[in-house]
Chain A
Amino acid sequence: DQQVKQNSPSLSVQEGRISILNCDYTNSMFDYFLWYKKYPAEGPTFLISISSIKDKNEDGRFTVFLNKSAKHLSLHIVPSQPGDSAVYFCAASGGGGGGADGLTFGKGTHLIIQP
């Protein structure tokens, strides 16, 4: 059973517009959430994270929003650039408090930025 779900396998956005990637989770013990970005033939690279004590974290063009009551988080990229085309993974940890179980990943969303 997938504890972290990314229901959109792909998303196409025009350059300059906002990209919104969504993620839902089922485990209420998760308390730390991350987004990773992956280019073909490379490993995932860390992008941004958020703790459950916050509802928003911003880093440049990237903002992550957390809605704990809905068990939902989203990644906003604005403005979207061609180099943002990649697969984005949502990840969560903290089952049991302290993240001893490592990160649980979603299946990823392939973001395509069109010129």
Chain B
Amino acid sequence: DAGVIQSPRHEVTEMGQEVTLRCKPISGHDYLFWYRQTMMRGLELLIYFNNNVPIDDSGMPEDRFSAKMPNASFSTLKIQPSEPRDSAVYFCASSTIPFGGYTFGSGTRLTVV
């Protein structure tokens, strides 16, 4: 298996633009998680899905953030409009159980200028 695949690896965008991050989980993994890593806050959970259904989005910082999982093999995290404080590394992870053994993707480094 190729593991969890995230794209793009790097994204540089101007403030106010829409940004879409993509994730392909491992086949057979029912849980998908979006995390954000910053120096100040470390790794924080934004949202997670079970069987394509969003279960907990309490970590999504603002309405500018939205996530979808239209099918078992694809998820997106969208920021519209983007702001410089959104600059971070965004990780997607998938798992067969909700409380451990996550497989993480390599992350998307987002820079908003």
Interface residue? A26 (CB, 8 A): no
B109 nearest CB across to chain A (Å): 9
Taking the closest CB of chain B, its distance from the CB of A21, in whole angstroms, is: 15
In the assembled complex, A59 has its CB within 8 A of some CB on chain B = no
Number of contact residues on B: which range applies?
A: 20 to 34
Secondary structure dominating the interface of A:
loop
Interface SS, B side = strand
Contact A102 B48 (CB under 8 A): yes
A7 to B: closest C-beta gap in Å: 13
Q: Which residues of B contact A (CB under 8 A)?
A: 4, 33, 35, 41-45, 48, 55-56, 91, 93, 97-107
- By a beta-carbon cutoff of 8 Å, the part of chain A in contact with chain B is 2, 32, 34, 36, 41-46, 49, 89, 91, 93-94, 98-108
Question: Could you pull out 25 A-B pairs where Cβ atoms are within 8 angstroms?
Answer: A32-B99, A41-B106, A42-B106, A42-B107, A43-B4, A43-B91, A43-B93, A43-B104, A44-B43, A44-B102, A45-B104, A46-B101, A46-B103, A91-B100, A93-B100, A98-B98, A98-B99, A99-B98, A100-B56, A100-B98, A102-B98, A103-B33, A103-B45, A105-B43, A107-B43
